[in-house]
Copies of this chain bind each other. A is one copy, B any other.
Amino acid sequence: MNKNKLTSQEENFSDWYNQVIQRAELADYAPVRGCMVVRPYGWAIWENIQSALDKRFKDTGHVNAAFPLFIPMSFLEKEKEHIEGFSPELAVVTIGGGEVLEEPLVVRPTSETIIGHMYAKWIKSYRDLPVLINQWANVVRWEMRTRLFLRTLEFYWQEGHTAHATAEEGQIETLKMLDVYTDFAVNVAAVPVIPGLKSQSEKFAGAVQSYTIEAMMGDTKALQSGTTHNLGQNFAKAFDIQYLDQNNELLYCWTTSWGLSTRFIGAVIMTHGDDQGLVLPPRLAPIQVVIVPIFRTDEEQSAVMETTKKVEQLLSGIRIKIDDRTEMTPGFKFNDWELRGVPLRIEIGPKDVEKNAVMISRRDIPGREGKSSISIDSLENRIPKILDEIHDNLLAKATKFRIDNTHDPKDYAELKGLINSGWAFSYWCGDANCEAKIKEDTKATIRCIPLDQGETNGKCIYCGNSAKEKAYFARAY
């Protein structure tokens, strides 16, 4: 595995990314073009993401359910913008049980339509509202240029779908879930995302407004890491989702949807990783602490292993792996676990045992600086704190990196000059034409328009007309 050195990020960020995923055994290419196999170590990260998000969804009153994989083609056609947005990306089942189907079935690219159909059936009265349902599912979008985790034909996600009695409640839900995503990204994944509004040209097909959390990757490109959509009454009208209000009047519901996918694993890799490989934030790491026992003689082995067992017991609330493989050297193991991004390594050798101590190495602080000797008696207390410190440090580093690489260009020429190595935070007049021209010239898109900018005004970075808000412009994955 360590035969060839990892390509450095500087040399080729994209190669670095692909190599890290393969060598750390996060994922592999499937025999079907554009599909991926998520390997156990990668899936364990996803399980930790799931459990952190699922808890937050349930705490905010949502429940899980499961809707079908197959959607009749006619359903997608009921919402005009929706079918326009998704029709180039559909996988279509035309044969079932050996027979050609009367109506082709689409493998869901997202589930607004089929869920809308069911909500129309279930919702009768204001008493049935709000409906707050999420599902954990696989979806398929026939992408042409694919990349492990970032863009694959099939991917895994959660999709929340809610129905409300009023426009206001729909908007509150849309922003509440944006907050949930932000909280998760920052406080669990240590990814300092910027929440904000999407421009109309970047919104979800069928939404009134889309919101996003945007993260800066290690190459300064942006990654849309989760989105929430206020769907207004678009899907309610297309699918007849209606309710009787207190006055017995029949009204259309207001719906929302929101999703976060395995793409987020790509965000974690590219936010924290370095030239040694993955760096996993402790709250998502499948292995939070790896223990490497070191010994030569049988006598040393027995003393070291005894201490190792003791340490394991002391740290019972932590996800631990003891690497007792006999055919590898400690040096090989150190590199291996660094590549795999384990936040903290504990080495236990005969001298440590004598001192009633262990040697720890932090993955987030390379070299001598991240190493220290800790008394075994203080481990139980110290290790959880050190894991929190690692989280805080990763978040601070990534935040500093984003700030350092976000600029406020004085004019469009300056924007064009910096956009290949950073983000621009600039006034925008709101005209889709300016947005399109900037994209044409620089490949940069509006990533988001941060909320609550207050009273502010300036001149549009492209056309110079009066502008009332600033937007982040960046090249993106």
A residues neighboring B (CB under 8 Å)? 28, 30-32, 35-40, 42-44, 46-47, 63-72, 75, 87-98, 104-105, 107, 114, 117-118, 121-122, 127, 133, 137-138, 140, 142, 144, 153-154, 156, 327
Contact = CB atoms under 8 A, between A and B. Distances in A.
A95 B92 contact: yes
A28 B67 CA distance: 10
B88 A92 contact: no
Given A37-B118, A107-B107, A138-B138, A30 B67 contact: yes
A72 B35 CA distance: 12
A133 B40 contact: yes
24 contacts: A28-B118, A30-B67, A30-B68, A31-B75, A32-B71, A32-B105, A37-B68, A38-B65, A40-B65, A40-B133, A43-B65, A43-B66, A66-B156, A69-B69, A69-B138, A70-B91, A70-B140, A70-B153, A88-B97, A90-B98, A91-B95, A91-B96, A96-B153, A98-B142
A89 B95 CA distance: 10
B64 A47 contact: yes
B98 A88 contact: yes
Contacts of A67: 30, 37
B133 A32 contact: no
Main secondary structure of the interface of A (DSSP, over half): mixed
A40 to B, nearest CB: 4
A93 B34 CA distance: 15
Contacts of A88: 97-98
Contacts of A104: 95
Contact of A93 (B75, B92, B121, B144): B92
**Residue from A47, A95, A138 having most chain B Cβ neighbours under 10 A:** A95
Among A44, A96, A105, the most chain B Cβ lie within 10 Å of the Cβ of A96
Given A32-B71, A70-B140, A89-B97, 16 more contacts: A35-B68, A36-B68, A37-B66, A44-B64, A47-B64, A66-B156, A69-B138, A69-B154, A87-B98, A90-B97, A91-B93, A92-B95, A92-B96, A95-B104, A127-B327, A137-B138
B44 A63 contact: yes
* Most central of A35, A37, A94, A138 by chain B CB within 10 Å: A37
A142 to B, nearest CB: 4
Contacts of A89: 97
Pick the most buried of A90, A92, A117: most chain B CB atoms within 10 A of its CB.
A92
B65 A93 contact: no
A86 B72 CA distance: 24
A381 B94 CA distance: 58
Contacts of A64: 40, 43-44, 47
Given A44-B63, A64-B43, A142 B37 contact: no
Contacts of A95: 90-92, 94, 104
Given A88-B97, A97-B89, A97-B142, A32 B156 contact: no
A74 to B, nearest CB: 10
Contacts of A32: 68, 70-72, 105
A65 B94 contact: no
Contacts of A75: 31
The 10 closest A-B pairs by CB, nearest first: A97-B142, A40-B63, A92-B95, A38-B66, A35-B68, A30-B68, A96-B142, A94-B94, A40-B65, A43-B65
A133 B30 CA distance: 16
A376 to B, nearest CB: 28
B65 A154 contact: no
A127 B117 CA distance: 52
Contacts of A144: 97
B68 A39 contact: no
A90 to B, nearest CB: 7
Contacts of A327: 127
A156 B135 CA distance: 13
B31 A114 contact: yes
Contacts of A117: 31
Nearest to A41: B63
A28 B121 contact: yes
Contacts of A140: 69-70
A79 to B, nearest CB: 15
A65 B303 CA distance: 37
A471 to B, nearest CB: 31
